[in-house]
């Protein structure tokens, strides 16, 4: 039986215990971040779901009312649905449940951040490119065993600098170990910051200095 609730997804087996959960941006799909995942960690398993919301034909992970204005009820519902999928996929694919690292870009980074805040048991670490504060929970979770790396662009017209800074503070208030980096970049990723993030994602089985 497939993982339930199901998502269209790609799964690429790995040779280490780590799994990267790849979460695409608006208009992306389950194939988009596979090359990024492999670059970040050549040994990890990769699981990459496609967001179920369609905005003018573009897949997303949750509804928004306008650019940067999120439908919070839908965001909570979709975050729980995605978290349930990951828990079920971990059993289905025999993944090590406490070695799941989210790698999200833009809309995908925002739902990864929401998952850390609402379903903290799912993720061990997160690499969040171009993330915003998706929501502020009523009660902060205990993220003292979670490492978060936030990659922002200092010329990003979609995500103002205050957003990743607020997000870093929110995670620090929840006791997470947070690193925030501003790249000389717009909303798109640069090779240099992907190289930096590689050091973060790749612990144990990669040949790079590792931090998570």
Residue 79 sits in the site that holds ligand MLT (CB under 6 A): no
Q: Cis bond leading into 119, ω under 30°?
A: no
3-state secondary structure of 109: helix
CB neighbour class for 181 (10 Å; exposed up to 12, middle 13-18, buried from 19) = middle
DSSP classification of residue 98: G
110 sits near ligand MLT (criterion: CB under 6 A): yes
Window contacting ligand MLT (CB under 6 A); options: 11-19, 78-86, 102-110, 202-210: 102-110
- Cβ-count burial of 182 within 10 angstroms (0-12 exposed, 13-18 middle, 19+ buried)? middle
Cβ atoms 120, 142 nearer than 8 A? yes
Query: Closest approach of Cβ 110 to ligand MLT, in Å?
Result: 4
Check residue 161 and report its DSSP letter.
Answer: T
In angstroms, what is the minimal distance from the CB of 106 to ligand MLT? 4
* Interaction of residue 34 with ligand MLT, rule CB under 6 A: no
Residue of minimal CB distance from ligand MLT? 107
26 binds ligand MLT (CB under 6 A): yes
106 in contact with ligand MLT (CB under 6 A) = yes
Asked whether position 58 contacts ligand MLT by CB under 6 A, the answer is no
Report the catalytic residues.
106, 156, 187
**Residues binding ligand MLT: what is the number (CB under 6 A)?**
7
Residues 149 to 178: which contact ligand MLT by CB under 6 A?
A: 158
Residues with Cβ within 8 Å of 139's Cβ and at least 6 positions away in sequence, in order, are: none
Interface residues toward ligand MLT, by CB under 6 A:
25-26, 64, 106-107, 110, 158
């Amino acid at each position: 039986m497939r993982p339930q609730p199901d998502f269209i997804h790609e799964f690429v087996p790995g040779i280490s215990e780590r799994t990267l959960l790849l979460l695409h941006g608006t208009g992306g799909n389950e194939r988009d971040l596979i090359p990024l995942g492999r670059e970040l960690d050549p040994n990890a398993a990769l699981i990459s779901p496609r967001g179920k919301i369609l905005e003018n034909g573009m897949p997303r992970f949750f509804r928004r009312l306008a650019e940067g204005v999120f439908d919070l009820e839908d965001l909570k519902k979709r975050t729980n649905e995605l978290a349930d999928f990951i828990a079920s996929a971990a059993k289905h694919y025999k993944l090590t449940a406490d070695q799941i690292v989210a790698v999200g870009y833009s809309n995908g980074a925002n739902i990864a951040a929401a998952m850390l805040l609402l379903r903290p048991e799912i993720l061990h670490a997160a690499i969040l490119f171009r993330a915003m504060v998706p929501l502020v929970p009523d009660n902060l979770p205990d993220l003292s065993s979670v490492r978060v790396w936030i990659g922002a662009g200092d010329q990003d017209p979609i995500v103002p600098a205050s957003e990743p800074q607020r997000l870093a503070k929110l995670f620090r208030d929840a006791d997470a170990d947070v690193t925030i980096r501003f790249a000389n970049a717009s909303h798109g990723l640069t090779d240099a910051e992907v190289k930096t993030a590689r050091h973060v994602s790749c612990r144990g089985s990669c040949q790079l200095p590792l931090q998570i």
